[in-house]
């Protein structure tokens, strides 16, 4: 928020913030995850900036379902936007690949698919147990996600290529819908080149030839998986930012990494992904120039070689100092 504030000040942007203590600490203290009253208040904001909410003493799934998924579904944040960009000076595990080759965006459908929570158990806890998890795909949900991806590809104006990542050869109902909608909507964008890649092939090409990708659109579960691979090829979780968007309404921005309790209060965490998410928030709010300055300042700092390592406690600077350097670079 220090960098966000500095960028806003440079651009003459007026803004107000409200802070909420939603997360693991509040849940342990009160038993509340995300009260409905808070959710209603969130609907009235222009943007939501999400910090690390995890806690080692909270059972896995409680915070994820009760906060992250609840906000996404209740506020209908149907796009998860994940830039995969290798900054200059950041090492990648991919041989002979650099910033020119690793620069694409993944558009993930964010409210349907296997994450819709439809399913159940029969004879749970017995040897006859049956567990069912259903993949929900609606025409409306697929169409608006695919259309957003086409619009983004057109706006990005890089290679003008949109790739559909699916598994239509096996998921012959769900992803047949995705292919039909992809082709149908694509008729409105004749200038955009359309590509198709099965998800297993997508993971191979992201490693072997990431330069083939410009914008990738995919379903909820596949997007969850390939965006983590994207984070690794761009240098790690410490530089990977994301946005959860409803283009007609509120949006939520966050680094893709979770919390790291062992570093709490030590001023050692790498803040670059969180700062990148703040830059994405500026862009969403209509301040493209301010967002571009944040992106440039991050890139310049990493290219300078001042940051020795992106790992917590190994940067050569404290968390606050890294924020200061980026704010000063604006």
CB atoms within 10 A of CB 294: 26
Enumerate residues 6+ apart whose C-beta is below 8 A from 146. Answer: 164, 178, 181, 182, 185, 217
Query: CA–CA separation, 182 vs 185, rounded Å?
Result: 6
Query: CA–CA separation, 303 vs 292, rounded Å?
Result: 16
Single out the catalytic residue among 166, 214, 224, 283. 224
Among candidates 296, 324, 289, which has minimal Cα distance to 6?
324
**Catalytic residue flag (residue 115):** yes
- DSSP structure class, residue 160: -
With contact defined as beta carbons under 8 Å apart, do 301 and 266 qualify? no
**Catalytic residue flag (residue 78):** no
Single out the catalytic residue among 78, 87, 115, 150. 115
Query: CA–CA separation, 299 vs 85, rounded Å?
Result: 10
Single out the catalytic residue among 21, 25, 200, 289. 200
Single out the catalytic residue among 167, 214, 283, 293. 167
E-assigned strands of 136-260? 161-166, 193-198, 215-218, 241-245, 251-255
Which position has the token pair 């595990």?
Answer: 93
With contact defined as beta carbons under 8 Å apart, do 113 and 254 qualify? no
**Catalytic residue flag (residue 140):** no
Single out the catalytic residue among 76, 228, 300, 324. 228
User: Max Cα separation, the chain?
Assistant: 65
**Catalytic residue flag (residue 228):** yes
By annotation, the residues acting in catalysis are 115, 167, 200, 224, 228
């Amino acid at each position: 928020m220090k960098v966000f504030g500095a960028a806003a000040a440079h651009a003459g942007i007026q803004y107000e913030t409200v802070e909420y203590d939603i997360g693991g600490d509040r849940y342990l203290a009160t038993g509340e995850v995300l009260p409905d009253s808070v959710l209603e208040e969130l609907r009235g904001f222009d943007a939501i900036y999400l910090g690390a909410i995890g806690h080692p003493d909270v059972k896995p799934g409680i915070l994820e379902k009760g906060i992250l998924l609840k906000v996404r579904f209740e506020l209908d944040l149907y796009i998860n936007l994940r830039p995969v960009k290798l900054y200059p000076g950041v090492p990648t595990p991919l041989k002979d690949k650099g910033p020119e080759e690793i620069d694409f965006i993944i558009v993930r459908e964010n409210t349907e698919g296997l994450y819709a929570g439809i399913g159940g158990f029969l004879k749970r806890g017995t040897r006859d147990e049956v567990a069912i998890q259903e993949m929900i795909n609606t025409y409306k949900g697929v169409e608006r996600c695919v259309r957003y991806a086409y619009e983004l590809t057109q706006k990005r104006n890089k290679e003008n290529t949109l790739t559909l990542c699916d598994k239509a050869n096996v998921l012959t109902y769900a992803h047949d819908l995705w292919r039909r909608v992809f082709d149908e909507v694509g008729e409105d964008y004749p200038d955009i080149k359309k590509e198709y890649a099965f998800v297993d092939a997508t993971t191979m090409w992201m490693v072997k030839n990431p330069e083939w990708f410009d914008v990738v659109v995919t379903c909820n579960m596949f997007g969850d998986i390939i965006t983590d691979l994207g984070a690794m090829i761009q240098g790690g979780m410490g530089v990977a930012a994301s946005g959860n968007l409803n283009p007609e309404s509120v949006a939520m921005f966050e680094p893709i990494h979770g919390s790291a309790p062992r570093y709490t209060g030590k001023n050692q965490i790498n803040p670059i992904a969180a700062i990148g998410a703040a830059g994405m928030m500026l862009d969403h709010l209509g301040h493209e120039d301010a967002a571009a300055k944040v992106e440039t300042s991050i890139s310049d700092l990493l290219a300078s070689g001042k940051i020795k390592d992106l790992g917590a406690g190994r940067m050569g600077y404290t968390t606050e100092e890294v924020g200061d350097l980026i704010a000063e670079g604006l």
